Chains A and B, each alone.
Chain A
């Protein structure tokens, strides 16, 4: 017959813990993905009015300047198409990759991620909302650049509607990359540097005609997600575009977009809880 009182037995701790768990207060609601994404998107978009407009102009002027310079070098035809497409997608790279990497790098370094991390919001909503907003910032600059390029090089504008697919898909790929760089870089200066480098790569590899580049650089060109956006857009200037290839190129953008946004979401989760 055991005379040890129940309280002394080691297992005694468990029922008490259970009793505590039973009394646990009901948790507040969780923000659902879609409404949270919309809220973040709207908030980010409004930031453009306060903070981003000067840089959006810079992005556009940079691309227009490049096209004016290249006019003396290229002699119409395929090269002109590549220059106009490359310069237009460069606006997307400037804003979605470079500026978003900077934004997340600074937010992380200054402790701004704490704000989101102490709200019951899915990480994907924060990353996708910000990426979506930055991709949207690129719309006016990209359209202006494309139209200006068509006028400058005398290219047909009939298929410019393809921008409605190129901007979101290239935007997703580049914004995902930018967000991931910004969130993974150990220091904000490094995030800025990586964003700048990514944009420089997009400039050199996207705008300069591919067949004039050395073979090694052409491989690097194939690795850059913006390349596929440039190729898809460039093809649509032809009289009879090969729509199969256009769709394939855009599918690559979409695929890279899904992967890079997934990595960015993972990086956000990692950065939010230290």
Chain B
């Protein structure tokens, strides 16, 4: 006997309308408010990824230049992205974030696994991705020699808008992002952050239910960042837009993401809300020591701390229980070690500490930035 999995009534609501029933009004809401409101209409999955695996083949070295071994850039990745959430992929450079999103956007064929976006099988029909999502890649070369205004308008037209709506949406988006004054400047002549913002503008012309953004705020100043997150929040509140965001910026991940998948060497090593992840290292304290020249390893207390420190140059990062941290601070601020100490900070742990606690490859942690 085959029963439908859900009563028909539950299915009858077209996905596009769910956003408009969102209890949150059309005003600008903060990320957190939207998150709370969203619990109301269940967590239907917009993008389901199963066992996604991709290996780049080895490259043979030619004439002296060393070759590269094969790299399993995504390794059995499984994620579910729910409607209306800002879902993040966090990980150091080379973790496989871009490779993962390229497979979700139909740009790259996985070796194995499935990608389902809003009911469409993207592995079998990669060309459908372009009609469901808007993608902001890491490169802007296709738009570099266009003016900001023409880049946005052309992208809208290629997303299927007619001339009038492409121009109208272009004007709205440029105004919204504070780019109107730069509209007639070619992208190539803008600063890195401005150019990134212009590419983001192009990604927004021709509304899509899913935005896939690969490091959208790289190189942006705080004002531009705020414009980006404001625009994302508005679309989410008004249309229930879902966002998949790639970042290696810890602070950004903590402040804008609803949920985050932490990636390391092609694998998702954890997936939860930022605060949920931080609970894993709750009860610990982060101690950062900066030495003047080098650590005084002849001091026994310092030598003992070394095993637990992540070293980057003169800087040591440690995760300690509160009483351990107190003892460590006492040891380095009093006695022989103090002369070698430049600075120290005590703080509650960040996602960077979570990444380390999860066993992320520590040598790589400098790929995560706190800017």
Contact = CB atoms under 8 A, between A and B. Distances in A.
A58 interface: no
A57 B338 CA distance: 68
Interface of B: 1-2, 4-5, 11, 14-16, 102, 105-109, 116, 118-120, 126-135, 137-143, 145-147, 150-151, 153-155, 157-163, 186, 188, 206, 208-209
Contact of B119 (A24, A125, A273): A24
Given A36-B157, A274-B107, A30 B139 contact: no
Contacts of A6: 1-2
20 contacts: A6-B2, A20-B116, A23-B11, A27-B120, A28-B208, A35-B157, A35-B163, A39-B157, A50-B146, A50-B188, A51-B145, A106-B141, A107-B142, A112-B140, A113-B142, A118-B107, A119-B158, A120-B131, A120-B160, A273-B107
Contact of A119 (B130, B146, B151): B130
Contacts of B186: 50
A243 B163 CA distance: 42
A110 B208 CA distance: 26
A43 B154 contact: yes
Nearest to B187: A50
A23 B154 CA distance: 31
Contacts of B206: 28
Given A25-B16, A25-B119, A25-B132, A36 B158 contact: yes
Interface in A1-47: 6, 12, 15-16, 19-32, 35-36, 39-40, 42-43, 46-47
What are the 3 A-B residue pairs with the smallest beta carbon separation, nearest first? A24-B119, A29-B160, A112-B141
A258 interface: no
Interface in A96-134: 106-107, 110-121, 125
Given A30-B131, A31-B160, A118 B106 contact: yes
Contacts of B118: 24-25
Contacts of A19: 4-5
Contact of B109 (A40, A51, A112, A273): A273
Contacts of B154: 39-40, 42-43
B132 A27 contact: yes
B106 A273 contact: yes
Contacts of B153: 39
B119 A21 contact: yes
Given A23-B119, A43-B146, 19 more contacts: A20-B119, A24-B118, A25-B209, A26-B14, A28-B131, A28-B206, A39-B157, A40-B158, A43-B150, A50-B188, A112-B142, A116-B142, A117-B130, A118-B107, A118-B137, A119-B130, A119-B159, A272-B107, A274-B107
Contacts of A20: 116, 119
B86 to A, nearest CB: 19
Contact of B131 (A29, A40, A43, A115): A29
Contact of B120 (A25, A32, A50, A114): A25
Contacts of B16: 25-26
B158 A39 contact: yes
Q: With a 10 A CB-CB cut-off, give which of B109, B128, B131, B186 has the most chain A CB atoms.
A: B131
Contacts of B140: 112, 115
Nearest to B146: A43
B163 to A, nearest CB: 8
Nearest to A5: B1
A12 B2 CA distance: 8
A67 to B, nearest CB: 31
Contacts of A39: 153-154, 157-158
A31 B159 contact: yes
B139 A120 contact: no
Nearest to B126: A273
Nearest to B163: A35
Contacts of B209: 25
B124 to A, nearest CB: 11
Nearest to B166: A39
Nearest to B128: A27
Nearest to B125: A27
A28 B108 contact: no
Contacts of B107: 114, 117-118, 272-274
A113 B160 CA distance: 18
A22 B120 CA distance: 10
Nearest to A11: B2
A59 to B, nearest CB: 18
B160 A30 contact: yes
Contacts of B208: 28
Nearest to B138: A111
Contacts of B120: 24-25, 27
Nearest to A23: B119
A25 B118 CA distance: 5
